[in-house]
Amino acid sequence: MTQGDPAALPDDVLRLLGENGGVCAVLVDGDPAATADALDRLHALAGPACVAVSGTTDPAAGYVPLFAELLRREWAAADLVALAHANMTRALREAEFRSRATRVRAA
């Protein structure tokens, strides 16, 4: 998992993120169109299972306009659910599983 500006990440890095099942969380800012542009690029290069939103200071002014913009851009409902929580939940669950599976146990 990473939080960052997808615009700062090269295309090949985003493709590798997708190939490896990673998740990139994008900060929701005051400009829903700009955030949607970043999510569109990430969605196209890494895939729908690799996008997430990381947070906003004002959910009503951040999430609502963003999801309205993504609906206008014809994002699939399943991709919006994945963006909202499913992708991050999956990544955290997998990290927890790997942590438990590789933990050294007392004899």
- Which pLDDT tens digit goes with each residue over 77-105? 999 999 999 999 999 999 899 888 888 77
pTM over 0.85: no
What pLDDT is attached to residue 3?
55
| Distance set, CA 90 to CA 23, 84, 85 (Å) | 9, 12, 9
**Segment holding 24, helix H or strand E:** strand 24-27
Q: Mean of the pLDDT values across residues 51-66?
A: 85
C-alpha 19/C-alpha 65 separation (Å) is 30
Q: Report residue 2: phi and psi, to 5°.
A: -150, 150
Q: How far apart are the first and last CA of the chain?
A: 33
Comparing CA positions, the residue from 49, 50, 48, 61 lying closest to residue 9 is: 50
> 51 pLDDT exceeds 90?
yes
CB atoms within 10 A of CB 11: 12
